[in-house]
Amino acid sequence: MEKSEMIEKAKQANSLEELLVLARENDYPLDEEGAGELFERLHSSGEISDEELDNVSGGGCGDYFHVCPRCEYPLEKCDQGWRCRACGYTSGS
């Protein structure tokens, strides 16, 4: 399954459990924490969380200008390089 197709199916998941089943069925590495964050992001109310607000205002660990090559979730820039909170992907700085 292509990434764009996987993302569309993930958007249609009605629960965290459905998202985890979709990931397992497609051999996609996603733990419960990452699935929860991804589910919230895909079904967001449009409001900005405190963490996202901190990242925008210079706090936190985030620079969301890059996306994960595995799942297209926004990557965070940290001291260790880039990391994906959804699937656990990391890369050096």
Query: Which is more confidently placed, 51 or 3?
Result: 3
At residue 27 the predicted structure's pLDDT band, cuts being 50, 70 and 90, is confident
* pLDDT tens per residue, range 36-92: 888 888 877 666 566 655 555 444 454 445 788 888 888 887 777 888 888 888 887
Let me know: does 76 contact 90? Beta carbons within 8 Å.
Answer: no
User: In the chain, what are the domain boundaries?
Assistant: 3-91
- pLDDT score recorded for residue 57: 46
Torsion-angle region of 68 (φ positive above 0: left; ψ -120 to 50: alpha; else: beta):
beta
